[in-house]
Structure 1
Amino acid sequence: MSDGAQRVGPAMRPVVQETYGPADLSGNRIFAGGFLNFGYWQAVDLSLPLSEVERIRSQEYLYRHVLDSSGLPRGPRVLEVGCGLGMGCVVTLQRYGSATVTGMDIHPEQLRRARSAHADLLREQPVRLRFVQGAAESMPLEDGKFDAVISVEAAQHFPDLGAFAAETWRVLRPGGRVAVASFFTVDDAPGRPQELARLLDTYASGLDIARPVKVLADAFTETGFTDVRVASIGPHVWPGWDLWLSQWWAPGTWPRNFLHAYEQRILDYYLITAGRPGQNTDAGTATGASGS
């Protein structure tokens, strides 16, 4: 299929519709800066009081870590699946000065907010940044369009990880790479979904779907990806996230149970990377990336 423009994706699940629409999770103070992720706190001093400055930095650092793991060429064409308000798209543009970035999200309200937040950039550089509506399992995008596909803290919502892997393969060029950061169960032991539903409201409501990380890794392998790697980054996510939450939530309240689930070896945060085999005809890697 040479053009995905007519592809029809699955219907949005009601809990996703509500959380990212009328409820507007992005307006919650715990997601300061609009990135909508738990953060990567490795470079943040957790012994000092945390402010919104450190919180926003942690969320940007998560994107930087994902991008740095993607092995991007110079001037990459990047797709972000589940782009939310598009803050990660802007980080990508800043980090790779000649990049072109497509932000895709299933929720029209999130895309409306993204276009509003980045109206000046969209107007000034329409070739470099765009936002499109689409589902991870059925992307309205051309075959072989991108050098990299990234997804940051969205895959826990995707109903069909196999279909996501297949669509990622389709829209990547040969030699392209995918990098996904999200949280999964550590194994497929019986009862994991029930354990998480008892601990965390987002699993009880069905917003987050309990699956072992092996499901996504196997989906990439079965689709044809090679160099599939799974790395736990939980030590750099959960303690900082829990410390940030402690400003509003007491120990034993459900949001604090993310750290508890990690400590009990039920849940972890992972970075999963893989490559589509083929010739990379771009010259060199992204040695011109700005920042660190």
Structure 2
Amino acid sequence: MTQQPPPAAGPAGPPDLPDRVAKVYGELDLSTVPAFAGGFINFGYWAGLTGPADRQLTEADRVRSEEDLYRLVLETFEPAQGRTALEVGCGRGLGCALALREYGLGTVIGLDAHPDQIARARKANAELLAASPDTTGRLEFLQGAAQQIPLPDGSVDCLFSVEAAQHFRDLPGFARESARVLRAGGRLALTTFFARTPAAARALPGLLPPYADGLDVPHVVDEVAATLSAAGLRQVRVRPIGEGVWEAYDRYMAQQPELRDEWPRRYLTAYETGLLDYYVLTATAG
């Protein structure tokens, strides 16, 4: 996450959420920050950009990048027709709605630990939740933690998480719960930014405030993959996609006067100096 709002005074957040996470996704509502045009709250995948390399990037480009990050993940489930999917860390539920509209899934469940995010998801998707006969009952939002998913064993075919796992304090718990709720042969796909090495993980809090203030955790990508395997997931694959993320995101930030804060642009520095990258991790259950 980037360009988070400044610290604000207030009561402690929901149980089991670190205070910083509770505030950023609660009273401060990160989805309203200009860097996250459209409200998806992710860096975006920009490989689909068209036009001259030096052209001015637009808000439409930014929203498209956020949607394309979801598409990159959801395409790993093909064929998805009629299947049941769960998004862990769904935020405002915009990715769940995209998944339902574009990929022919039978049911999409959005899960988020923050009650404010679940309320926003239900509001943002109220029409889709209630109006259309072909989607009624196929979209649902639940409050719950990644390490304690409130669903039965073997109840979903596809589990995805987009730019949320950097917040997870209990990655082994998330991995075990993913393996539990996925049906045999079900697929997991998650994407976010991770440290490249243990040394990089130690260095990142000195460069990027979200690691220093408790918003993000500098998980090491190889350790994340090993954690998924240890939970019983098979065929764990790691794909770096930073080439399609960091430079274009930084270019967009540089072109927006209100987004030219110093520290959010350090993500490109962290990438170029080998401290972190953006990844897609996939695995199979059972």
**TM-score between the two structures when normalised by the length of structure 1:** 0.88
Q: How far is 1:171 from its partner?
A: 0.5
Contact 2:235–2:283 (Cα < 8 Å) also in 1: yes
Q: How far is 1:96 from its partner?
A: 1.9
2:64 is equivalent to residue 54 of structure 1: no
Q: How far is 1:98 from its partner?
A: 4.4
1:163 to 173, 176, 184: 173
- State how 1:136-215 maps to structure 2 within 5 Å: 136-189=146-199, 192-215=200-223
Residue identity in the other structure for 1:141: L
1:223 to 231, 239, 243: 231
Q: How far is 1:249 from its partner?
A: 4.2
Residue identity in the other structure for 1:33: G
2:49 is equivalent to residue 44 of structure 1: yes
Counterpart CA distance in 2 for 1:116 and 1:250 is 31
Q: How far is 1:210 from its partner?
A: 0.6
Q: Deviations over 1:17-71 (max 9, x none)?
A: 0000111100011101111100000011343211111100000000000011234
Residue of structure 2 equivalent to 1:116: 123
Equivalent position SS for 2:77: coil
Runs of 5+ in structure 2 lacking a partner?
1-13
Counterpart CA distance in 1 for 2:190 and 2:15 is 21
The alpha-carbon distance between structure 1 residues 17 and 128, as it changes in their structure 2 partners (threshold 3 A), is same
Q: How far is 1:208 from its partner?
A: 0.7
Residue identity in the other structure for 1:188: P
Q: How far is 1:194 from its partner?
A: 4.1
Contact 2:148–2:174 (Cα < 8 Å) also in 1: yes
How many residues are matched? 266
Give the root-mean-square deviation of aligned CA atoms: 1.5
Equivalent position SS for 1:15: helix
Q: Deviations over 1:206-238 (max 9, x none)?
A: 101011111210011111111110010000010
Residue identity in the other structure for 1:157: H
Equivalent position SS for 1:273: strand
Residue identity in the other structure for 2:276: L
Residue of structure 2 equivalent to 1:260: 269
- State how 1:263-282 maps to structure 2 within 5 Å: 263-277=272-286
Equivalent position SS for 1:69: helix
Q: Deviations over 1:156-205 (max 9, x none)?
A: 0000111100000011000100000010001122xx34421121111111
Residue identity in the other structure for 2:113: I
The alpha-carbon distance between structure 1 residues 193 and 206, as it changes in their structure 2 partners (threshold 3 A), is farther
State the structure with bigger RCO (CA 8 A, min sep 6), 1 or 2. 1
Extract structure 1 runs of 4+ deviating beyond 6 A. none
Residue identity in the other structure for 1:264: T
The alpha-carbon distance between structure 1 residues 89 and 15, as it changes in their structure 2 partners (threshold 3 A), is same
**TM-score between the two structures when normalised by the length of structure 2:** 0.89
Equivalent position SS for 2:192: strand
Worse overlay, 124-133 or 147-156: 124-133
